Chains A and B, each alone.
Chain A
Amino acid sequence: MLDYYALFALLISLGLAALVAGNNLFSCSGVIVAGGIVKRKTGVVVALIGYLLGLLLQGGMLHIGVYALLPVHDSMILFAGILAAGAVFVVSHLLKAPQSLSLVLASAFVGAGLAAGYAIDMTFLYLMIAAWIMAPVVSLLVVFFIASSQKEKKKDIWRSLKIAKVLLIVTSFLMAYTLGANTLGFLYSSVGYGSVTILLLFMAAIAVGSFAFSGRIIRNVEEEVMPVKYKGALATQLVSTVLVEAATFLGIPLSNTQVFTTSLLGSGLSYKTRIIDPKALKVILLTWILGALACLAMGYVIAYALILA
């Protein structure tokens, strides 16, 4: 039986799951839709299948992370964390700043856990922070080197193009899979780990979010993110997938948004004539840092207020 805190936490989580699924369509299927490889609806379906399979097959792995940050299952503390994360995530979304749900949710859990006096697994916390710092740096460097590597003259351009297109569909699916396993898995593990009903509710919310926000799939890629060519796009998606999947195995919530954005930056930097707006980069970086700190503080304050009440 759910209490009110658990119920509200679940409702907020379902809303966030829908928003995350819709928001990340551009990073998962944006390139294959914008590149004319598949139609928009097909792109949404590719991402949706990826999200659902990732959540279903590996979503539970993030329970390790939830348990490390919130070792005691108390629906009030959980609600405080999810409310704080939800508020920061929605505000960032309204400000059109690319915010990471994994980052704000984990930070809010730490804040709420501290207020409740939980013994947070510090080794895991340090590992998670290290992953948050290292993963974007690694993705930027790896994608930069892949994208700027000297290419050999191609003998069969049409064949290479077809192979690149097929690979892009695969990597788009894998990107969505890792998002389903990691970010959505973290959210699911925090509110309904082990519950089939809640898992089904999450899957429904993800499907609704994917189709409701499918209109953003092109706009985001063309207007808000640097459009990359096939080679850069492949490298970006592949590196993001590998890093997030590795984090999933360790139970670490790792932001797809962060890794994808820095991979895109690496790809963008590989073009000699590409101009990158440093102001936009500062905004992205500040959004991440301030978002995490704000969630830490808000999670603490809300949990403390609820305990006092």
Chain B
Amino acid sequence: MGILERIFESGEQRVIGNCQEIITIAGSANKLLMKGFHSESALQKIHLLERQSDRKVFSIVTTISAGSIAPNAIDNFIALVKKEDDIVDSIYNLCREMCRYRIEEDKIEDTVDSKIMDLLGLATTAIGQLKILFKEDDERNISRYRHKVADIEEDGDIIKDWLLSYAYKKKMDFKSFNHTIELAHKADDILDSCRSTADYFTNIMFSLTT
């Protein structure tokens, strides 16, 4: 790569561009999960996406390590990429948990499913905001979208708490109880990773020109 290309097409911008692809993969995985609740075929498709995300992460980390990023920003960039991958991993983990066990009592299962669906709906919105965020290079807008993702994550916490309380309130066998708790945590993990991704992205962008 020539010196002018190296200067004018900054490594940081290229890596952020590549990071957007992982967000797109996360969006597809989330969509599949919402469509195919408890479905084995959805699980297989999400597993493929999860592997695709892993490969993308490996390729981005290799690019970062090859010297396209300022050394003092490398750690933040790697953390950002790993956090993005965590979104896809969390979706896959949630899908696996859903396929692993079904709550016997239909009413309880419907309630739990509806709350998990709410959390996945929030994840769709958060991933949508992340897609917009990753295209932004205006500090004001970056702050705005980061706050939106944080607000979504907090809304998710409320639903998760409700679900945990519900699990403790209702009479159910241990497996169903444990399954409900696991689902609540795993669904919330998706939103937590979205928030961390937005935080890392913001830190990186704000520190680039200081």
Contacts and interface: CB of A to CB of B under 8 A. Distances in A.
Given A36-B67, A36-B69, A36-B71, A158 B139 contact: no
Chain A at the B interface: SS class? helix
Contacts of B7: 37-38, 162, 165-166, 169
Indicate the member of A39, A157, A166, A222 with the most B CB atoms within 10 Å. Answer: A157
A37 B138 contact: no
A130 to B, nearest CB: 34
- Kindly state the interface size class of chain A when it binds its partner: 20 to 34
B139 A153 contact: yes
Contacts of B70: 34-36
Given A37-B6, A162-B10, A165-B7, A156 B137 contact: yes
A187 B7 CA distance: 35
A229 B71 CA distance: 11
A225 interface: no
29 contacts: A34-B70, A36-B67, A36-B68, A36-B69, A36-B70, A36-B71, A37-B6, A37-B7, A38-B7, A39-B6, A42-B3, A153-B139, A154-B209, A155-B139, A155-B140, A156-B138, A157-B139, A157-B209, A158-B10, A158-B13, A160-B209, A161-B10, A161-B209, A162-B7, A229-B207, A229-B210, A230-B208, A230-B209, A231-B210
Interface of B: 3, 6-8, 10-13, 67-72, 137-140, 205, 207-210
Interface of A: 34-39, 42, 151, 153-162, 164-166, 169, 222, 227, 229-231
Given A36-B70, A155-B137, A155-B139, 4 more contacts: A158-B13, A229-B72, A229-B207, A230-B209
